[in-house]
Chain A
Amino acid sequence: MNRKKALALLTATAMMATSMGCGAAEETAESGETQSTQEEKQDSTESTQEASKAPETEETTGLSYTTLNLDDYKDFTASIKFLHHKTDREADGTIASMIAEFNKEFPNITVTTEAVTDYAEDSLLRLSTGDWGDIMFIPAVDKTDLATYFMPLDTLDNLSQELNFVDNWQFDNVCYGIPYMANAQGVLYNKKVFKEAGIEVLPQTPDEFIEDLKLVKEKTDAIPLYTNYAAGWTMGAWDAYVGIVSNGDNTYLNQKIVHTAEPFSDPGDGTGAYNLYKILYDACSEGLIEDDYTTTDWEGCKGMLNRGEIATMVLGSWAYAQMQEAGDTPEDVGYMPFPMSVNGTQYVNAGGDYNYAINVNSSEENKTASLVFVKWMVEKSNWCYNEGGYTVVKGGQNPDMYSAFDGCEVLSDQPAVAGEETYLNDMNAESELSINAGGNAKVQRIVEAGANGSESFDDIMTDWNAVWQAAQEELGIEVKY
């Protein structure tokens, strides 16, 4: 008996010891790795600073997006794998038909695909294991880590002459990602319901919008504003209007907000993040939303908007095509700029969706084939247009849905200042507000407070300002504004 116990104890301790040993060993190895990559990065920044004319891409691989000529690779042979998040397009065969089209021109490049449902989270885990294939859509990584995982595609200067919205994933003037489509941020509405309610001119300010929602409630049976509270991420979609849409400043979101002491204070002129979220709060407190917001149904709401049971939904343009497909009256689905005007002008934020990126650790052949595929997808697949996206290729054709955007100022967010690329991510994580990065819970809180009257709107905004300032202090980020 005693001997058995002793044996068990011994094995247990042995196992503990080995596990600790493993953990410690790997830890040091990893930290060593990161240190070395950091050093490399420092070196590379120095070298680029010294010789800024020579693009870094040519030094390392010789491949670059703009110099690549698709016609040179007709007989190129390789087998590559593409990891993406469009499970619906994988299921309905869109991806497969695009690849078939691709293979007509490049018969020897085999492309396998894998669609991941919970992409934002799972792809990060896959990325950390390194086992994900050759092409993926960039998940939320820090910009300093881009070079560790992805191949540089081209310099920002070269790429931005041909394509829009390529500055999302650039670091030190080198681009690591190209968006597969771009979205413009506006509001979905049902044209028939608006007509029934007697709304002829689309609202341009928060006050007009709330008035229109009240009209919808009075004169029609439709739900004025569907929050999609239960789905969660649909609430986080409100964050997309912070910045350009709410103050007309395309440097605000990526450069200024991290240095702003009170980003959620009322500027007093009906603009800013304060008045943006106040629309939602007011709509909730005045009963202009669905009866039971906790049981909203994302799949069901598409058809409801199409049929005119919902008047408006605040979502990016990517949702437009899905709403049209969901019912028999696609012609009733409309898209309008967000009802907020800065000095009389409505601003529209357009920006890239997920970005293609190529594995830095793939073989040279696979890197080449991947770049060929990415270039073909961006320029020849028409995927962006078919999804109702704002064009990625400069001068490309825009879908009809953007007709209401005539007369609006279309801007895209400027990249962060050099050396401050990680600030917004750091601030988002530290403050847990996660602006534009899955901060669903904070917007849900507005709905709860508005509908139950449990908190005043100003209290919530004061609270957000407080956590924002605490995060600035914690991270040592200077307050400038």
Chain B
Amino acid sequence: MKKKRTFTEWIRSRDGQQVLVMFAFMVIPLLLLFIFTYLPFAKMFGFSFYNMKYVGVRKFVGLKNYIKVFQRDDCFGALKLSLYYMLGSIVQLALALYLATILSFKVKGGNLFKGFMFFPFLINGIAIGFIFKFFYTRGFVFDTVLQWCGFNLENLPYWLKDQRINNFSLVGTSIWRYFGQNMVLFIGAIMSVDSELYEAAMLDGANRFQQFKYIIMPSIKTIITLNVILSITGSLSAFEPPYVITDGANGTGTYFVVMHEIAHTQQKVGLASAMAIVLLIIIFIATILQKLFFKYVFRSAEDEDPRAGARRQKMLERSIRNQERIAARGGK
């Protein structure tokens, strides 16, 4: 027979205390999340339907801003630049994975290298922009280093002026900054792999590459997937390198830089908000596509594994049976 409890009794009970504590802990982060993320977002979503500046009268224009986003050349033209950054993020992840694998084995001065390579991530993005502005300046750091290597200054391109390569120069800065962080994440994941597996593999005669392919890769695929998704979506919203180094000029204005220009210089806040919403949708789509892609890739690998195991099992059983048969014959 269940006794009916009053609210005060319930709140004092174990169940009530659990709920209370849960609520007390949740309310602050949720409130912060709401105030600084969802509320501004909802506001921005509202702005995207208005023709407005920061100050002054607002005029409701419905979907006109969204139509403009799709009509303007500069909005979607800027998205093409994201391809450079996506390409860069693949190079960045490959490099990070390679170095992480090497550094996760015993290397002399490994921690020192880890520190050096992680260091750029700790520097402020704006400072990095200024560093690379001088780095790429004609006859400055990069050209000087290349001249030491035997290059002639006349044969070197203008790293930021030449529109064929300036986006690659900018992507280079982004790789330099983020590969260390990716590497540390990878190292962390690789550390969690059971070291007995390496020993076993070594006894079986597996070389380093085979260890990487059959032990490390499958063990850290979750973290690889995560990094790829973050890098690809990040490259859609690249902002700091082009904004600080070239001010988005000379054909380096990414979607974010164009958005910033429209929002702050032209003060078309509504249009910029619509651009932000469109970008959000694009990022959603890109993320979902990647999720589906990885699901497909890894599932097919998983599907194959158990069958392969079963096959091996069968072979083993057959060979044991054969041996038994042989032994039985020999015993005759």
Checking B39, B43, B137, B261 against A441 with a beta-carbon cut-off of 8 angstroms, the contacting residue is B261
Q: A127-B55, A141-B56 are in contact. Are A294 and B250 (CB under 8 A)?
A: yes
Hey, which chain B residues are within 8 Å of A30, CB to CB?
58
> B89-97, B159-167, B203-211, B313-321: which lies at the A interface?
B159-167
Q: A23-B43, A230-B247, A295-B137 are in contact. Are A434 and B166 (CB under 8 A)?
A: no
Checking A145, A231, A232 against B55 with a beta-carbon cut-off of 8 angstroms, the contacting residue is A145
Q: A144-B56, A295-B160 are in contact. Are A230 and B246 (CB under 8 A)?
A: yes
User: Residue of A at shortest CB range from B45?
Assistant: A23
Do most interface residues of chain A lie in helix, strand or loop, or is the interface mixed? helix
The A-contacting residues of B in range 243-273, CB under 8 angstroms, are 246-251, 253, 261-262, 264-268
Report the minimal beta-carbon distance from B43 to chain A, rounded to whole angstroms: 5
Hey, which chain B residues are within 8 Å of A34, CB to CB?
56-58
Q: A16-B38, A31-B58, A144-B56 are in contact. Are A293 and B161 (CB under 8 A)?
A: yes
Hey, which chain A residues are within 8 Å of B55, CB to CB?
124, 127-128, 141-142, 145, 149
The A-contacting residues of B in range 34-61, CB under 8 angstroms, are 34, 38-39, 41-43, 46, 53-58
Contact flags A389-421 to B (C-beta < 8 A → 1, else 0)? 000000000000000000000000000000000
User: Residue of A at shortest CB range from B267?
Assistant: A429
Report the minimal beta-carbon distance from B179 to chain A, rounded to whole angstroms: 24
Report if A19 contacts B (CB, 8 A): yes
Q: A19-B38, A294-B158 are in contact. Are A448 and B250 (CB under 8 A)?
A: yes
Q: A23-B43, A294-B161 are in contact. Are A444 and B250 (CB under 8 A)?
A: yes
**In contact, A432 and B39 (Cβ under 8 angstroms):** no
Hey, which chain A residues are within 8 Å of B56, CB to CB?
34, 141-142, 144-145
Checking B42, B161, B253, B264 against A292 with a beta-carbon cut-off of 8 angstroms, the contacting residue is B161
The A-contacting residues of B in range 209-233, CB under 8 angstroms, are none
Report the minimal beta-carbon distance from A239 to chain B, rounded to whole angstroms: 13
Question: By the criterion of a CB under 8 Å from any partner CB, how many residues of chain B are at the interface?
Answer: 39
Q: Given the complex of chains A and B, what is the CA–CA distance between A437 and B137 in angstroms? A: 29
Hey, which chain B residues are within 8 Å of A451, CB to CB?
161
**In contact, A27 and B46 (Cβ under 8 angstroms):** yes
Report if B138 contacts A (CB, 8 A): yes
User: Residue of B at shortest CB range from A35?
Assistant: B57
The A-contacting residues of B in range 133-151, CB under 8 angstroms, are 133-134, 136-138, 140
Report if A15 contacts B (CB, 8 A): yes
Hey, which chain B residues are within 8 Å of A428, CB to CB?
266
Hey, which chain A residues are within 8 Å of B136, CB to CB?
295
**In contact, B163 and A452 (Cβ under 8 angstroms):** yes
Q: Given the complex of chains A and B, what is the CA–CA distance between A61 and B267 in angstroms? A: 33
Checking B39, B57, B249 against A444 with a beta-carbon cut-off of 8 angstroms, the contacting residue is B249
Q: Given the complex of chains A and B, what is the CA–CA distance between A437 and B261 in angstroms? A: 12
Hey, which chain B residues are within 8 Å of A429, CB to CB?
53, 266-268
Report if A11 contacts B (CB, 8 A): yes
Q: Given the complex of chains A and B, what is the CA–CA distance between A34 and B60 in angstroms? A: 14
Q: Given the complex of chains A and B, what is the CA–CA distance between A438 and B262 in angstroms? A: 11
Q: Given the complex of chains A and B, what is the CA–CA distance between A16 and B41 in angstroms? A: 10
Name the residue among A125, A144, A294, A451 with the largest chain B CB count within 10 angstroms. A294
Question: By the criterion of a CB under 8 Å from any partner CB, how many residues of chain A are at the interface?
Answer: 47
Checking A19, A292, A439, A441 against B160 with a beta-carbon cut-off of 8 angstroms, the contacting residue is A292
Report the minimal beta-carbon distance from A63 to chain B, rounded to whole angstroms: 24
User: Residue of A at shortest CB range from B251?
Assistant: A448
**In contact, B34 and A448 (Cβ under 8 angstroms):** no
**In contact, B249 and A441 (Cβ under 8 angstroms):** yes
User: Residue of B at shortest CB range from A454?
Assistant: B163
**In contact, B266 and A292 (Cβ under 8 angstroms):** no
Hey, which chain A residues are within 8 Å of B54, CB to CB?
124-125, 128
User: Residue of B at shortest CB range from A236?
Assistant: B265
Hey, which chain A residues are within 8 Å of B261, CB to CB?
441
User: Residue of B at shortest CB range from A233?
Assistant: B247
Report if B30 contacts A (CB, 8 A): yes
Q: Given the complex of chains A and B, what is the CA–CA distance between A19 and B253 in angstroms? A: 33
Q: Given the complex of chains A and B, what is the CA–CA distance between A221 and B189 in angstroms? A: 58
Q: Given the complex of chains A and B, what is the CA–CA distance between A268 and B138 in angstroms? A: 39
Q: Given the complex of chains A and B, what is the CA–CA distance between A229 and B261 in angstroms? A: 16
Contact flags A10-27 to B (C-beta < 8 A → 1, else 0)? 010001100110111001
Contact flags B262-292 to A (C-beta < 8 A → 1, else 0)? 1011111000000000000000000000000
Report the minimal beta-carbon distance from B32 to chain A, rounded to whole angstroms: 12
Q: Given the complex of chains A and B, what is the CA–CA distance between A27 and B46 in angstroms? A: 9
Name the residue among B166, B247, B262 with the largest chain A CB count within 10 angstroms. B247
Q: Given the complex of chains A and B, what is the CA–CA distance between A121 and B54 in angstroms? A: 10
Report if A58 contacts B (CB, 8 A): no
Hey, which chain B residues are within 8 Å of A432, CB to CB?
262, 266
Q: A291-B138, A293-B161 are in contact. Are A22 and B38 (CB under 8 A)?
A: no
Q: Given the complex of chains A and B, what is the CA–CA distance between A128 and B267 in angstroms? A: 14
Q: Given the complex of chains A and B, what is the CA–CA distance between A434 and B266 in angstroms? A: 7
Q: A121-B264, A441-B249 provided; 5 other pairs, C-beta below 8 A? A: A141-B55, A428-B266, A437-B265, A441-B253, A451-B161
Name B residues whose Cβ lies closer than 8 Å to a Cβ of A. Answer: 30, 34, 38-39, 41-43, 46, 53-58, 133-134, 136-138, 140, 158, 160-161, 163, 166, 246-251, 253, 261-262, 264-268
Query: Can you list 14 pairs linking A and B with CB atoms under 8 Å apart?
Result: A11-B30, A15-B38, A34-B56, A38-B57, A144-B56, A229-B249, A294-B160, A294-B161, A294-B246, A295-B160, A297-B137, A428-B266, A429-B268, A440-B249
Name A residues whose Cβ lies closer than 8 Å to a Cβ of B. Answer: 11, 15-16, 19-20, 22-24, 27, 30-31, 34, 38, 121, 124-125, 127-128, 140-142, 144-145, 149, 229-232, 291-295, 297, 428-429, 432, 434, 437-441, 444, 448, 451-452
Complex A-B, nearest 8 residue pairs according to Cβ-Cβ distance, in ascending order: A295-B137, A294-B160, A292-B138, A19-B42, A444-B249, A232-B247, A294-B161, A438-B265
